[in-house]
Amino acid sequence: MANIERQTLAVLVDNEAGVLSRVTRLFSGKGYNIESLAVGTTDDPQVSRITIEIKANEDQTRLIASQLRKLICVHSVKVLVPDHAIRRELVLIKVMANTAESRNEVIQIANIFRSSIIDVSVASLTLAVIGDESKAEAIQNLLKEFGILELVRTGMVALERGQFTIDEQTKVKGEYDYGKNVL
């Protein structure tokens, strides 16, 4: 059995009520914890794109992708290979900074990570960091000593590198369509 790894699935779905629960219940029904989930509309307002990350091996991921493709509300599914995909998430971190000294230090750290300061108050600074999980973890570790008041992530979004898209017409895609519906 192949190794359990973090797997990224990109899913195009109808932008309708109930679709997200149809998609996520497939994961919970098989006992997978969703590590990360991000949803939003695409350039076509009737279509949403979901990026889901789970911990699973390759066979398990292939099986769940094929079951996702069976859902009528799902247009297409692609398992993104880490080497051929770009993955990013936005993390907002509210840090305690109630002295001039600590504020300066936090701002310096923010600059090194090319993150922006999006809110300042007398006692705190809020940073926005974009990156993959290693970048978020690194800045988190550095800011820990100042006191992290709150932290929130958007969830990972991902796209394949190069000109390839999720909509490619392949024999396998045709096979899935056949199983879904022969009208």
Partner 1 sequence: MQLTGAKILMECLVEQGVDTIFGYPGGTILNVYDELYNYENNGMMKHILTAHEQGACHAADGYARSTGKVGVCFATSGPGCTNLVTGIATAYMDSAPIVCITCNVGTALLGKDSFQEVDITGVTMPITKCNYLVRDVKDLADTVREAFAIARSGRPGPVLIDIPKNVTAEKAEYESLARSVHGTAGRLGALMSRASEDFKAPEPDHNDIEKLVEMIAESKKPMIICGGGVVRSRAHQELNELVNRIDAPAAVTLMGAGGLQGRDRHVTGMIGMHGSQASNMAVDACDLLIAIGCRFSDRVALKPSTFARNAKIVQIDIDRSEINKNVQTDHHIIGDAKRVLELLLERVRPAKHEDWMKYVFSFKTETEYDEASDHLTPQQVLTAIAKILPQDTIVATDVGQHQMWAIQHFHFDYPGQLLTSGGFGTMGFGLGAAIGAQISHPDKCVLHVTGDGCFRMNCHELATEQYYNLPIINVVFNNGVLGMVRQWQTLIYDKHYAATNLDRSPDFVKLAEAYGLSGARVTNVEELEKALKEALSCGHGYVIDCVIDMDEKVRPMVGGGSHITDFMLNS
Give the binding site for partner 1 (CB under 8 A). Answer: 17-18, 21-22, 25, 29, 59, 62-63, 66-67, 69-73, 75, 169, 171-183
Nearer to partner 1, 75 or 153 (CB): 75
Three-state SS annotation for the chain: CCCCEEEEEEEEEECCCCHHHHHHHHHHHCCCCEEEEEEEECCCCCEEEEEEEEEECHHHHHHHHHHHHHCCCEEEEEEECHHHEEEEEEEEEEEECCCHHHHHHHHHHHHHCCCEEEEECCCEEEEEEEECHHHHHHHHHHHHHHCEEEEEECCCEEEECCCCCCCCCCHHHHHHHHHHCCC
CB of 175 to partner 1, least distance (A): 4
CB of 155 to partner 1, least distance (A): 23
Nearer to partner 1, 145 or 167 (CB): 167
Nearer to partner 1, 134 or 178 (CB): 178
CB of 45 to partner 1, least distance (A): 14
